[in-house]
Each structure stands twice: as structure tokens, then as C-alpha cells.
Amino acid sequence: MSLKAGIVGLPNVGKSTLFNAITKKHILAANYPFATIDPNVGVVTVPDSRLEFLESLYIPKSTVPTTFEFTDIAGLVEGASKGEGLGNKFLSHIREVDAIVEVVRCFKDENIIHVSGSIDPVRDMEIINVELVLSDLEIIESRLEKIAKKAATTKEKETVLEYETLVKCKESLLKNEPIRHLDLTEEESLVIKNFSFITAKPIIYVANVNESDAVLGKNEYTEKVSEYAEKEHASVIVMCAKMESELSELEESEKKEFLKEVGIPYSGLDKLIFATYDLLGLQTFFTAGKDECRAWTFKKGMNAKKCAGLIHSDIERGFIKAEIMKYNDLEELKDEKKVQEAGKLYIEGKDYLMQDGDIVYFRFNV
């Protein structure tokens, strides 16, 4: 299951520095607007201590963690929806992602210029969000022009539904309300799915602070970001992108030791990955054995047969049953046979709703 989050923000807010930390790739992070000209895509491993336990228990030939894809998109500026800066080229890249990570500058540094000349996170957030609204509006208005006459004259059910849904979205956007705030029916959600509206995507705000404020977890600017995000029903992750980039250079043991010394339980990057994972309603199941221990990403609410298809279409097609252990049971008993003897090996059918932490063996026949 390939899932993507797009990192957006004004120029020089720390997007590319954050991306460096995410992927441990050193793309251009220069001190001027539009240093990132093409979208950079990187894959990050989702930290999971449960997979580490399974690896120590089974000692497999290979261990495969679940991953998440981040796309770093060039800095947007006011007027981007009308072609300012690098314009709609980059707005189109955002349409391809599943969630948006909006980086907001919450630090002072005279050596790093700000395109607006001062630090004001709420202004910056509004600039970005207005551009995303305008971009969606342009698509909606263009489509309404094409189908308005047909909807009025033919009364074709599908066309009328599309027209009315788009009008509903337009009215929301004209009030500067993102589409994700609308209470859409299942049918209406299907109508807008193919348009890939940016404001329909879930969003997380990253408040980029300096190192000392990262330890505190807040400053005067992050408080304003939190107030703004609360109205959006969105999460805020406070982190120092510069520190995260430096941490990414350390060995895992050194990184843990450093975080312990400064009194931070989790790195900002780990918190961002967890929050993005949760935002998209994602969970993890495992397959485990001597050959391979592997984590698999699935959407909450997926049944066993659909999850089998994430491994291979043949397993879904020939699904017979799923043998399931709960991670907590295996961790406690530390042996598959003991789990079975305790009556905690469950045999489930195709309609079983997979749970986070399930360790599964799919039986199938094709």
C-alpha cells in the first residue's frame, strides 16, 4: 500500500531541511526561494518496536519494515494559484499525495530571510491555505461550466449529483472553508475522489522552532499555530528541523542517548511519522517466520481477505482462512506453540476486520 504525504510551506521555512532528516538525503537546502525546483520524493521507515521484537524472536533471513513516502514540494508564495513564483506546477504535485504536512516557521534567525520580511505563522498559514482554496476553486468552476447545462436539461442522475456536489464544495471554498470540513455523503465523496482536491486532504502542521524551543516543546509562535490548527481540527507537531537533520546522521543508539540527555522521549520526526500514519487511518499487521518478518500497512476497517491482497492478489483470490496471534500474547509468551496451547491462536474468515498488531498467516488455494 503506497501512501504519500506532501510537505508544503512558504520558502525558507525549513521544508527541505525537514526532508533531509526524513530521508537522510541531502538535497539542496539553500537560503533563497525556490531552492527546491523539482519535487523530491523520499521513503521513510515507520519506527516499530514490535517488528524489532519479532526479529529477535524469529531471527529471520530478512526483516522488512513498513514505509511511508514523503514528497518535498517547492515553496509556495502568495499568488501561486495564479502562476506566481513557480505556480500551479507545484500545486499539481500536491494533488498526488494522500495527506499534507504544512511546515510553518516559528523561529527567529536574521541569517535566514523570510519572503514576507517578518515572522508571523498565522499569516503564513493563511497565505498557503488560501492558495490551496483558490486552486480547488479554479478546478470546480471550470468543471461546473462544462456540466451546468447538461445537469439542468437532461436531469441525468449522475450529472445532477456531480453538479450539486461541486456547488456544495464551491460554496464552502468561497467561505474559505476547506472541503475536508464538509460532511459529505458516501456518494458525494465518490464524486469528488477523481478531482484530487487539495483542501479535501487531511493536514498536519509542523511548527519549526529552534533547538532550545524544541526541548521546551513550544514558544510564542507555536501557541498561535495551535490555536489556528484547533479551528481546523488539525494536529500540530513542534520540532526543530535543523536538529532532526543532525540527528539523522547519528547511529540509532547515539540518537536515543542524545534525546534522553535533552529530555525528549521521541524525536520530532518519529512523532510526525506516527501522526501522519494515524491521520490517514493506517494500522500495521505482521507476517513472521524464519524466512522473513515483515510489517504491512493497512487501512482501518479492512477485512482479512483484502489485507491478504496487500501481500499478493493470488492470496486474496484463493483466501481460505487467516490464522491470527495478537502481538501482546506472543510478546508475553514468547513462543508460537505456547500461544496456541493457551488457546490464543485464532482462526478467522474473510470478513474478519484486521486489528493493529495482528500477526497473521494466510491459508489460501489457487
Summarize pLDDT for 190-222 with one digit per residue, the tens: 999 989 999 999 999 999 999 889 888 889 999
pLDDT at 137: 93
Query: Is residue 306 scored above 60 in pLDDT?
Result: yes
pLDDT bucket at 86, cuts 50 / 70 / 90: very low
Euclidean distance between CA atoms 144 and 138, whole angstroms: 10
Q: Could you tell me which residue, 275 or 111, shows the higher pLDDT?
A: 275
Residue 342 DSSP label:
T
How high is the pLDDT of residue 81?
46
Average pLDDT, the chain: 86
Res. 1 pLDDT band, cuts 50 70 90: low
Over residues 341-355, mean pLDDT: 96
Query: In this predicted model, what pLDDT tens digit does every residue of 247-265 receive, in sequence order?
Result: 888 887 888 888 888 778 7
Residue bearing the bigger pLDDT, 13 or 352: 352
Q: Which of 62, 26, 27, 20 is nearest to 44 (CA)?
A: 20
Q: What would the mean pLDDT of 162-170 be, rounded to a whole number?
A: 95
Residue count (the chain)? 366
pLDDT for the residue numbered 142: 93
Average the pLDDT over 279-302 and give the result.
Answer: 94
Given this model, what pLDDT does residue 84 score? 47
CB within 8 A of 355, min separation 6: which ones? Answer: 283, 285, 326
In this predicted structure, the answer to whether residue 104 has a pLDDT above a threshold of 80 is: yes
**Residue range 167-174: mean pLDDT, rounded:** 96
**pLDDT of the residue at 63:** 93
Q: Which residue has the higher pLDDT, 11 or 75?
A: 11
For residue 332, name the pLDDT band (cuts at 50, 70, 90): very high
Highest mean pLDDT of the ranges 38-52, 57-71, 333-347: 333-347
Higher pLDDT, 200 or 117: 200
The DSSP call for residue 30 is -
Q: 311 pLDDT band (50/70/90 cuts)?
A: very high
Across the range 8-33, mean pLDDT stands at 69
Q: What percentage of the chain exceeds 90 in pLDDT?
A: 54
What confidence score (pLDDT) does residue 229 get? 93
Of 154-168, 250-264, 333-347, the poorest mean pLDDT is in: 250-264
> Which run of H or of E encompasses 44?
strand 40-45
**C-alpha to C-alpha distance for 117 and 89, rounded to whole angstroms:** 25
- Lowest mean pLDDT across 258-262, 283-287, 332-336, 361-365: 258-262
pLDDT band at 312 (very low <50, low <70, confident <90, very high): very high
| 363 vs 2, higher pLDDT | 363
| Pairing, β 67-72 against β 62-64 | unpaired
pTM, whole model, 2 decimals? 0.81
Rounded Cα gap, residues 197 and 92, in angstroms: 10
- Per-residue confidence (pLDDT) for residue 261, from 0 to 100: 85
pLDDT at 233 over 90: no
Helix (H) / strand (E) containing 144: helix 121-154
Quick check: 119 and 133 in contact, CB under 8 A? Answer: no
